[in-house]
Amino acid sequence: MPQPHEILFKMLADPTRRAIFERLCRDGDQTVATQ
């Protein structure tokens, strides 16, 4: 079973996921809506 920090580092290796993570850290919670 992977350790939590391993999962986090693998997730942050993806540029799109990293950008979302950085935006959430910078701007706080965001609302998501569907059409």
| 1-35 residue pLDDT tens | 778 888 888 888 999 989 988 998 999 988 888 88
8 Cα distance to chain centroid: 8
pLDDT value of position 26: 94
Count of H-run helices and E-run strands, the chain:
2, 0
Q: What is the pTM of this model?
A: 0.60
Helix (H, G, I), strand (E, B) or coil at 25: helix
Distances from the Cα of 4 to the Cα of 1, 21, 26, 31, angstroms: 9, 16, 22, 25
